[in-house]
Amino acid sequence: MRIKKINPYEYLHASARVRMLGNQIITKGKLHQMIDAPNLGQAFRVLNTSGIGVGEKPENYEAALVRALAETYQTVREITKGLGLLDVFRYNYDGLNLKIVLKAKAAGLDPLPAMTSLGTVPKEEIVSGMNRRHIPGLPPEMLRAALDAQAAIETANDPQKADIMIDKGMLHAMYRIVHEYNNVFCQKVVRSKIDIENIRSFVRIKRAGKDVRLLESVLSEGGYIQSKKLVSLFSRGIREFAAFLGNTRYGSALAHAFDGLEAGGRLTNFEKLCDNFMLTFIGEANRIVFGVEPILGFILEKENEITSVRMVMASKMTGVPADTIVERLRT
């Protein structure tokens, strides 16, 4: 395989541009103003000061957030001249669309209203492509996984297995493509994502009392932790698993992720700390002066901004107390 070389100096302008755009990211202070706002409307007005959703109704916050993220992706594609390496970090939206198409088809529904426009392949092309068993622009790993997932739904009516197949196909595609470029940082982000997803699967399946064979079917290769090691640990308790992770690159970040889990505690803190680990790459990327790294850091920061705002707005709409919202927020 021929490695595609990236010259950091080609992204001097793009790096400077995203640093300027990064100054518009909603600060923690502004996020807490939204949390402390007495109602949804007031929270939305605070959001408007960052240029998101201006002139729209508070109830339409979701459309405003999607549009803001879509604009970010479009800007990044323009300033990087369509660098394919960065498209990898949008595959989760393509995967989401594939899942929606398969489940809607099984239920006899139109999938388009539920699909997102944030993926790398237009949603209309995913719908028509699944009918043709060919989706131009979609990584082959994801297409194969989607076709296998479709068979799983049609023959066994197993949507959970279908989701697992698509998620694994996505991670395999991400791993392959980032290793086609000479960028160690992007490779590290993807390999860490694979590990974090495998760790999540381990804990969820363990807590659900499921068989190790389910874990074997879920785990993805390519992380820093070998899948066979996770399988070998499955028969032991959560405490032993936590001790093992303590000696890995995830040790300090997940040190308190397992508190109370053996006693049946909620997974809320565990999930939050898993997410928080991935957010550490934002700071790491921003310490690099120019190149692909600060651009990816900006994408990750914008994704986190949108996720945080969505959580706050949804909580305000349903009347969740402020302290509970703060507890749920990723940092």
- Mean pLDDT for the stretch of residues 198-211: 92
Cα 9 from Cα 187, distance rounded (Å): 20
Residue that wins the pLDDT comparison between 159 and 199: 199
120 SS3 class: coil
Mean pLDDT for 106-116 is 94
Mean pLDDT of the chain: 93
DSSP annotation string for 134-184? --TTS-HHHHHHHHHHHHHHHHH--HHHHHHHHHHHHHHHHHHHHTTBS-H
How sure is the predictor about 328, in pLDDT bands with cuts at 50, 70 and 90?
confident
Work out the average pLDDT over 319-323.
86
CA pair distance 225, 247, nearest whole angstrom: 11
pLDDT of residue 180: 95
Residue 85 · residue 186 · CB < 8 Å: yes
What does the pLDDT read at residue 327?
83
The CA distance from 219 to 203, in Å, is: 12
**pLDDT, average across residues 296-313:** 94
Alpha-carbon distance 142 to 127, whole Å?
14
pLDDT tops 80 at residue 331 = no
- SS3 sequence, 77-97? HHHCCCCHHHHHHHHHHHHHH
At residue 160, the pLDDT reads 87
Structure tokens at 154: 């049609």
Q: Return the half-sphere exposure (C-beta side, CA atoms, 13 A cut-off) of residue 83.
A: 26
Q: How far is CA 49 from CA 18, 26, 269, 308, in A?
A: 19, 9, 31, 16
- How many other CB atoms are found less than 10 A from the CB of residue 56? 15
pLDDT in tens, 229-267: 999 999 988 889 999 999 999 998 998 888 877 767 788
Q: What percent of the chain has pLDDT over 70?
A: 99
Q: How far is CA 177 from the centre of its chain?
A: 17
0.85 cut: is pTM over it? yes
Contact predicate 92/170, CB 8 Å = yes
The set of residues, in sequence order, having a beta carbon less than 8 Å from that of 26 and lying 6+ positions away, is 47, 50, 305, 308, 309
Look at 13-17, 77-81, 152-156, 217-221 and tell me which has the smallest mean pLDDT. Answer: 152-156
Q: What proportion of the chain, given as a percentage, has pLDDT over 90?
A: 79
Instruction: Give the distance from CA 9 to its chain's centroid.
Output: 28
Bigger pLDDT: 242 vs 331: 242
Which band of pLDDT confidence, cut at 50, 70 and 90, is reported for residue 294? very high
What single string gives the DSSP state of each residue in 248-294? Answer: STTTTTTTTTTTTTTTT--SHHHHHHHHHHHHHHHHHHHTS-SSHHH
- With a cut of 90, say whether residue 322 has pLDDT above it: no
Nearest to 140 by CA among 167, 118, 173, 178: 173
- Exposed e or buried b per residue across 40-54, where buried means at least 16 C-beta atoms within 10 angstroms of its C-beta: beebbebbeebebbe
pLDDT on residue 330: 82
Q: What is the pLDDT of residue 214?
A: 92
Per-residue model confidence as pLDDT tens digits over 26-50:
988 899 999 999 999 999 999 999 8
Residue type, 44: F
Average the pLDDT over 135-140 and give the result.
Answer: 96
Cα gap 190→178, rounded to integer Å: 8
Q: What is the pLDDT of residue 259?
A: 85
